[in-house]
Amino acid sequence: MVRAGVMSDSERITVRIQADKLGALQALVDGGKFPTISDAIRAAIDSFIETNFTPEHIQRVTVELPKVKVVELESLIKDGDSVSIDDAIRNAVREYVRMRLDKAMGEMR
């Protein structure tokens, strides 16, 4: 839908959810995990799509993290270094791969 010259790449939908689930979403907002319920729902949809529609050239890896590591990742989000725990993990993995590639390239020289 385009209004008064404003382009939008999103669509508005209506979804009915159970009161307990709405309460859980509100608790995430109240706890500072998300600015709005809509943002929490968008994050959940993004996670669902990533889980179910991973490109063929990408292998999904599931890792169980100790609670202390989850707390460290959450602090990255609060500090603004990452937008979610998944984002913090992706950044860490990306940096680790970069470091290993740099080291391998240095050894080849």
Residues 84-96: pLDDT tens digits?
888 888 888 888 8
Residues near 107 by beta carbon (within 8 Å), at least 6 away in sequence: none
Q: Please report where in the chains the tokens 């949809």 appear, as a residue.
A: 45
Average of per-residue pLDDT across 40-51? 88
This prediction has a pTM of: 0.47
Domain ranges of the chain: 11-55, 61-109
User: Region 45-55: what's the mean pLDDT?
Assistant: 82
Count CB neighbours of 88 within 10 A. 19
Q: Assign 7 a pLDDT band (cuts: 50, 70, 90).
A: low
Q: Give the pLDDT of residue 52.
A: 80
pLDDT in tens, 52-79: 887 777 777 777 888 888 888 888 888 8
- Is 1 a residue whose pLDDT tops 50? no
Which residues are CB-neighbours of 26 under 8 A, at least 6 positions away? Answer: 37
pLDDT tens-digit series, residues 23-34: 999 999 999 989
Residue 38: pLDDT over 90: yes
pLDDT band at 40 (very low <50, low <70, confident <90, very high): very high
